[in-house]
Chains A and B, each alone.
Chain A
Amino acid sequence: MVLAVVIPDRESRLRELLASMNHAPGRVDRENRLVPFARFPALHMARLVLLDDKTTGDVRAHGLEPREYPLYLAFLGDIDGAERDFLEELAAKAGEGLREIFSCCEGFSPEDDLVGWMWSHRSPPLANYVNTRGRTVRQVHQEAALYEALEKRMDGSPEEFAGLNPREVHSRLRKFSGEEQAAGRLTLSPEEPTPAGWWIRDKLHLVGMPLLMLLLSPILLLALPVYLIILRHREKTDPEVVPVYDQEAADHLSELEDHDVTNQFSAMGSLKPGLFRLLTTYAVLGVVDYAARHLVHAGRLGRIRTIHFARWVFVAGKERMIFCSNYDGSVESYMDDFINKTGFGLNASFSNGIGYPRTNWLIRDGCRAEGKYKEYLRRHTLPTQVWYKAYPGLTAVDLERNTRIRKGLDTTNLSREEALEWAKLL
């Protein structure tokens, strides 16, 4: 995420620029003049969002006067490969457009080195979730094309397939896929090797974090009772701030949504004041990040299967945070999924934000106050000015299906059961 302060008297200019990247609100022009997203083969999703947080006054509930924050512009992308390489590519293909955008931000001058400037304005996420690590944009497109070709082949001659058993179907389609590839109509690139440096860092992280925890465990164990006492006290006394959100603002958010089977979500809020909640945030998001990186099944965040990418990032300092995600379906089903399937995780991370519905033992209740929670979340949601997704029409479950089909086709000899499971995917 690149984060920059907007120069106040250039805000309206910036809003115009951002609007010019869309065909209509919520519908990006994939080839827009400023950042032609579609020309970046490593880019899954991207967004430009103004961090216009309307809830900074909520800190009054804790007896503090709200601070004046500048308006920030955040530019987020989910990419394959190294960040630095992608920034280089951005500068090469969209340099002029980005200069136009960033010239509305403080500290940017036209003679600046664009890559260096973006690099120095990065904000690393506290926690990051990727639906399926290692699945590239190229792979997504290739597997989607494969799926469509197979479906077309079968729909073209249903009588040919009608009487076949799954293994025969598999071998026939395998042969077809081979012929299509030979004729250059389909491409299925072999998986790219994982860079050695990345692999080593990943394994060090896998082992290092638990080791660190083990080392710290005597201290942590001693601190735990104290922690719980403070937690229980805070939970019972922290104020809830859940006014009904403004109807016009709500309708504006809805105008930006449901243009694709996937939606963007950007939410912002302030952390409850004090060290206690800050430490809890670090701990909870540390666990989330570690689990998302090393533990969870591909395609699943807990029981949720509709999230492509999600991340939690501090905004300039440690007082405010944004949560950005890309999820399938409408916002109502997204919120319901969170409440009913991973309410515990949601409570643990979001209850450190000011005004969150009351939790019990950090993970209980909270979002189970469904009505309050939904008002809370919608009120903290930011309109996302520009949002891009490289593969419209495809959900995370679609991507998983297509990968399963591709993997099945890669295999020569499927058992009867395997072939049956595979055929069900079509």
Chain B
Amino acid sequence: MNAQVDFSDVQGLVRFGYKRMTKAHYDLLQVKDAGAAREWLRQAPVTPAETRDPPPKTALQVAFTVEGIRALGTDESIIEGFSHEFRSGMAASFKARQLGDTGKNAPENWEWGGPGKEPHLLVMLFGEPDVFEDFLSAQTGGLYQQAFELQACLDTADLDGVEPFGFADGISQPKIDWEQKKKSREIVYTYENLSALGEFLLGYPNEYGNLTRRPLVDDNALSSSLDPAPEDPRKRDLGRNGTYLVLRQLDQDVRKFWDFIRKQTGSEDPDADGLAAAMVGRHRDGSPLVKPSGQGDDDNNFNFDADPEGHQCPFGAHVRRANPRNADYPERPRNIFRKLLVTLGFGTPGFRDDVMSSVRFHRILRRGREYGSELKPEDAKGPPPADEPPRGLHFICLNANICRQFEFIQNAWLNSTKFAAMTGERDPLVGNHEPPAGCPVANHFNRPGKDGLRQRVTGLETFVTVRGGAYFFLPGLRALRYLAGP
């Protein structure tokens, strides 16, 4: 089970962000001609995760929605092996309530991915600027045109590691335990960034030490290239070396954001009062509001243990919601008696004690890219010129369990008005500030003060609008060929 990962079978995106390939382009496709689609998939030079010398200058990655897998003619008994949330999709009506996709964000208003507009395939093309155009036209030629109908074409922009609001992005990433050295432990007392391989790649033990459920297929001539399934020797593992990919197109209203900050602080200086940084939880250069604990200037090497009251970084700040950097227990118990007390609920009577789930079960690997042109905070003043193209983030994350990882973070942390024993606020940056039923408001942002009283910002506007989204399966390369058929 702890076999070395066969990188030639893993799509490269799981291991690399392809930063040097500053050009990228995502095609959302419908299968027009299943035969041609299968043929294209059989010959597509999908880039594996092996390191190469010299490194490749282009990359091609392919992922499928459940409808896409169906469109290839895959048997329903195989489809049943995929997770429930992948099968019901991102646009299901109940999902919208969980993810905050209501009102303006509702799937009915999406440009793609909403009801009746679900794509089948996501084809991602990456390249260094000098070779990108040639690569693009070579990959999307005649057979591609015959096989697929282009539903949407998502272009990306290279903003040099800064997201459209103007903050350095992509700093917080889990470190994947590729060598599988990490032992599965029942209780972990300190936050660590190293995450079990099985959280990001199917077919390997996750943080619980289990294999996540995934499609296993009958052992026959067709499936003989797939690895045997560890839990059932008669089956082959179609999920192994694959993972789920979540894509959401998030429009960012940069002008509205900075106009709001200026109005609140009464200053032209974007950093005035530290309000924008407090909402994000980082300064614009990416340095966290809580001082990194380790050596060097690793801006991901910190946790919130030294800031239990939220004086340095408010509880509601985006980075604190998205990754509370906590462990399984509210404290490290001194002895077994104390541990028993805490477990039974007698140990921590404080109001904010122990209200949050342990983060190690809720990590995601982010692989998104920005779109639209750069607009500096100083220049971000409304209203926009009539022909200004939208800007934002094609949010992409990889995870082995969409429900426990992406959906949980979005639902219980980012978009919950009850996060960390608070009420009346959602994520100040990406939250949909419609109040839930029975709640008077959801558009506050509180900054706990040292004297006990919070400093409150009211009337937060919604700065991010969802334009599209879907759940995809990013198969291993051999699984991809299996799905493409003989």
Contacts and interface: CB of A to CB of B under 8 A. Distances in A.
A262 to B, nearest CB: 9
A141 B113 CA distance: 42
- Interface size range of chain B in the complex: 35 or more
Interface stretch (B35-43, B92-100, B143-151, B466-474): B92-100
Interface residues of A, number: 64
A423 B453 contact: yes
Interface in B380-403: 403
A426 B212 CA distance: 42
Nearest to B211: A371
Contacts of B351: 400-401, 404, 421, 424-425
Given A332-B403, A368-B208, A395 B438 contact: no
A426 B358 CA distance: 26
Contact of A392 (B97, B423, B438): B438
The 9 closest A-B pairs by CB, nearest first: A393-B438, A392-B438, A423-B452, A300-B345, A254-B94, A393-B439, A166-B452, A258-B97, A420-B452
Interface string A361-397: 0000000111100010000000000000001111101
Given A247-B87, A258-B94, A332-B403, A155 B456 contact: yes
Contacts of B404: 332, 336, 370
Contacts of A342: 343
Among A370, A422, A426, the one with the most B-chain Cβ atoms within 10 Å of its Cβ is: A370
Given A297-B345, A392-B438, A397-B418, A371 B212 contact: yes
A37 to B, nearest CB: 14
A87 to B, nearest CB: 28
A422 B451 CA distance: 11
A169 interface: yes
Contact of B408 (A154, A259, A336, A395): A336
B418 A398 contact: yes
Nearest to A164: B453
Interface in A337-371: 337, 340, 342, 344, 368-371
Interface stretch (A4-12, A183-191, A267-275, A301-309): A301-309
A341 to B, nearest CB: 8
Among B95, B418, B458, the one with the most A-chain Cβ atoms within 10 Å of its Cβ is: B418
A393 B407 CA distance: 21
B345 A244 contact: no
A328 B416 CA distance: 11
A154 B458 CA distance: 12
9 contacts: A148-B440, A247-B80, A254-B88, A254-B95, A255-B94, A305-B354, A397-B421, A424-B351, A424-B448
Interface string B180-219: 0000001000000000000000000010111111000000
B213 A395 contact: no
A424 B355 contact: no
A250 B85 CA distance: 10
Contacts of B178: none
Contacts of B186: 368
Contact of B309 (A291, A303, A370, A424): A424
Contacts of B456: 154-155, 158
A419 B162 CA distance: 42
A97 interface: no
Nearest to B452: A423
B411 interface: yes
A261 interface: yes
A112 interface: no
B97 A259 contact: yes
Nearest to B448: A424
- The B contact surface, by secondary structure, is loop
A363 B447 CA distance: 41
A55 interface: no
Contacts of A330: 98, 411-412
B213 A244 contact: yes
B80 A303 contact: no
A166 B451 contact: yes
A177 B238 CA distance: 64
Contacts of B346: 296-297
B240 to A, nearest CB: 15
B454 interface: yes
Among A166, A250, A305, the one with the most B-chain Cβ atoms within 10 Å of its Cβ is: A305
B210 A369 contact: yes
Contact of B417 (A261, A333, A401, A423): A261
B452 A254 contact: no
A422 B351 CA distance: 10
Contacts of A400: 351
Nearest to A158: B456
Nearest to B421: A397
A251 interface: yes
Contacts of B290: none
Contacts of A370: 206, 208, 210, 404
Among A164, A368, A371, A419, the one with the most B-chain Cβ atoms within 10 Å of its Cβ is: A371
B208 A332 contact: no
A238 interface: no
B382 to A, nearest CB: 26
Nearest to B95: A254
A340 B440 CA distance: 32
A329 B413 CA distance: 10
Given A369-B210, A398-B423, A250 B84 contact: yes
A371 B345 contact: no
A125 to B, nearest CB: 20
Interface in B435-470: 436-440, 448, 451-454, 456, 458
Contacts of B342: 303
B418 A328 contact: yes
B128 interface: no
A260 interface: yes
A261 B442 CA distance: 12
Contacts of A332: 403-404, 407-408, 411-412
Interface in B79-135: 80, 84, 87-88, 92-95, 97-98
Interface in B337-369: 342-346, 349, 351, 354-355, 357-358, 361
B227 interface: no
B432 to A, nearest CB: 14
Interface in A113-164: 148, 154-155, 158, 161-162, 164
B259 interface: no
Given A161-B453, A332-B408, A395-B418, A255 B93 contact: yes
A413 interface: no
Interface string B324-342: 0000101000000000001
Contacts of B206: 370
B341 to A, nearest CB: 10
Contact of A244 (B80, B330, B354, B423): B80
A259 B437 contact: yes
Given A392-B438, A426-B453, 8 more contacts: A158-B456, A302-B343, A303-B354, A329-B412, A329-B416, A330-B412, A422-B452, A424-B448
Contacts of B343: 302-303, 342, 344
Contacts of A245: 84
Interface string A40-59: 00000000000000000000
A387 to B, nearest CB: 13
